[in-house]
């Protein structure tokens, strides 16, 4: 029997069980075939905040367009943004393109295998660095994402708030002690896969979990109470009104050059000020930003869309210019409906597009008859 004064014995992390489970059960995802540091890097960037099923077709298309960093570095902005359109969190692709350019300039187009160098590239935070460096170069760095935080919180029976950075750092330190140097990438991917497939947020399937025998949450009946996550404040809702300005069968669009939608094309207009009507907001924004007066016609669409940190409700009106047309250029164009469809657009504009195109087509038909 253990004497009362002895500290409790440390549990052995079930490493062999985890890796055997991974060897048997990993999903054959596209980025796990034909492994390369570039493919791993792109997949990890896409997978941040985005579901696997959503990422798969984007990843496949992206790899056909940009099979190496040099191809992304050389690509035109519109081609790059179009390849990312709909994935959201556009800062990710802007960082990836800047990083690809640096990889070409400083590393001859090869992804650097030194964590100290890799982590200096745009967008390469602790998670991306650990994931790419462990999977592609066998550096024993734990990659801690939301799945891993959940698995480890339950495994340890921890009530610490997993939204806190300090807790993420703590989990990283804990895993640094158990990550096997001979299979660090497999270890990281196995924990993430376990969180995605078995230790899921709502219904963990403990009966099929390789960590079950040593899991505290399971033993204490806390699996549905853990992990603890502090509440997020609800994202603000923003009212926006935009104009589909038409002239001689073409539509006016401008390219954003700031904010999180930087690089995407949109219809002129913007956010409503307090007490302002939608039409007044469109007129004000078009005068301020394009120096053009409009005659606003009928409403074409009302769409709602959730971005990463806010939701918008966007009203779309047809309009025609009343003053001389603004000069077009790199960030302002008149486009045909077909060209409009091929441009990279923000989610709300893309959602409104079918109603806009249908409305314009109908008007053309009416004019002809």
Q: Which residues have a catalytic role annotated?
A: 44
**Stretch in the footprint of ligand SF4 (CB under 6 A) among 17-25, 205-213, 231-239, 275-283:** 205-213
Q: Give yes or no for residue 155 binding ligand SF4 (CB under 6 A).
A: yes
Binding status of residue 218 toward ligand SF4 by CB under 6 A: yes
Residue whose CB is less far from ligand SF4, 191 or 343 = 191
Distance in angstroms (rounded) separating the CA atoms of residues 97 and 68:
11
- For ligand SF4, the binding residues in 297-356 under the rule CB under 6 A are none
Smallest distance, Å, CB 316 to ligand SF4?
46
Nearer Cβ to ligand SF4, position 154 or 285? Answer: 154
Residue 156 near ligand SF4 by CB under 6 A? no
Site size toward ligand SF4 (CB under 6 A) is: 14
Q: Is 151 in the site for ligand SF4 (CB under 6 A)?
A: yes
3-state SS track over the chain: CCCCCCCCCCCCCCHHHHHHHHHHHCCCCHHHCCCCHHHHHHHHHHHCCCCHHHHHHHHHHHHHHCCCHHHHHHCCHHHHHHHHCCCCCCHHHHHHHHHHHHHHHHHCCCCCCCHHHHCCCCCCCHHHHHHHHHHHHCCCCCCCCHHHHHHHHHHHCCCCECCCHHHHHHHHHHHHCCCCCCCHHHHHHHHHHHHHHCCCCCCCCHHHCCCHHHCHHHHHCCCCCCCECCCCCCCCEEEEEEEEEEECCEEEEEECCCCCCCCCEECCEEECCCCCCHHHHHHHHHHHHHCCCEEEEEEEEEEEEECCCCEEEEEEEEEEECCCCCCCECCEEEECHHHHHHCCCCHHHHHHHHHHHHHHHHHHHHHHC
Among 18, 131, 209, 282, binds ligand SF4 (CB under 6 A): 209
Q: Is 217 in the site for ligand SF4 (CB under 6 A)?
A: yes
**Cβ–Cβ contacts within 10 Å for residue 126, how many?**
16
Of the candidate spans 9-17, 72-80, 201-209, 231-239, the one that interacts with ligand SF4 by CB under 6 A turns out to be 201-209
**198 contributes a contact to ligand SF4 by CB under 6 A:** yes
Between 87 and 194, CB nearer to ligand SF4: 194
264 to 303: interface string for ligand SF4, x by CB under 6 A? ----------------------------------------
Residue 305: CB minimum distance to ligand SF4, A: 34
**By C-beta, is 205 or 322 nearer to ligand SF4?**
205
Q: Is 47 in the site for ligand SF4 (CB under 6 A)?
A: no
Q: Which of 154, 156, 254, 318 binds ligand SF4 (CB under 6 A)?
A: 154
Residue 204 touches ligand SF4, criterion: CB under 6 A: yes
If we measure between CA atoms, which residue out of 144, 204, 174, 189 comes closest to residue 10? 174
Q: Given the rule CB under 6 A, which of 77-85, 151-159, 331-339, 341-349 is the region that contacts ligand SF4? A: 151-159
In the complex, what is the shortest distance from the CB of residue 148 to ligand SF4, in angstroms, rounded to a whole number? 11
Distances (CA, A) of 155 to 42, 139, 160: 30, 24, 13
Chain residues binding ligand SF4 by CB under 6 A are 151, 154-155, 198-199, 204, 206, 209, 211-212, 215, 217-218, 223
């Amino acid at each position: 029997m253990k004497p009362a004064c002895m500290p409790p014995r440390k549990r052995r992390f079930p490493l062999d069980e985890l890796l055997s489970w991974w060897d048997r059960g990993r999903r054959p995802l596209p980025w796990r075939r034909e492994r390369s540091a570039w493919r791993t890097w792109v997949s990890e960037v896409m997978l941040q905040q985005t579901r696997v099923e959503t990422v798969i077709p984007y990843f496949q298309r992206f790899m056909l367009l940009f099979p190496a960093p040099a191809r992304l570095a050389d690509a035109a902005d519109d081609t790059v943004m179009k390849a990312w359109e709909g994935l959201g969190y556009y800062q990710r692709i802007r960082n990836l393109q800047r990083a690809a350019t640096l990889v070409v300039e400083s590393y001859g187009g090869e992804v650097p295998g030194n964590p100290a160098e890799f982590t200096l590239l745009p967008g390469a935070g602790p998670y991306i660095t650990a994931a790419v460096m462990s999977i592609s170069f066998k550096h024993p760095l734990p990659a801690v994402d939301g799945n891993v935080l959940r698995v480890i919180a339950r495994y340890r029976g921890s009530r610490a708030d997993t939204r806190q950075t300090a807790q993420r750092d703590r989990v990283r330190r804990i895993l640094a002690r158990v990550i096997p140097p001979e299979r660090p990438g497999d270890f990281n991917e196995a924990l993430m896969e376990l969180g995605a497939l078995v230790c899921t947020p709502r219904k963990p399937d403990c009966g099929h979990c390789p960590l079950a025998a040593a899991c505290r949450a399971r033993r204490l009946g806390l699996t549905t109470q853990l992990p603890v996550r502090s509440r997020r404040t609800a994202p603000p809702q923003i009212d926006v009104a935009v104009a589909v300005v038409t002239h001689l069968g073409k539509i006016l669009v401008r390219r954003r050059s700031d904010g999180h939608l930087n690089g995407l094309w949109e219809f002129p207009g913007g956010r409503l000020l307090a007490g302002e009507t939608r039409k007044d907001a469109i007129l004000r924004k078009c005068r301020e930003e394009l120096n053009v007066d409009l005659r606003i016609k009928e409403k074409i669409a009302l769409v709602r869309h959730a971005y990463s940190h806010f939701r918008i409700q966007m009203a779309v009106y047809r309009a025609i210019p009343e003053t001389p047309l603004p000069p077009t250029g790199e960030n302002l164009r008149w486009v045909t409906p077909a060209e409009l469809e091929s441009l990279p657009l923000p989610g709300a504009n893309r959602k409104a597009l079918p109603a806009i195109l249908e409305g314009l087509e109908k008007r053309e038909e009416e004019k002809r008859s």
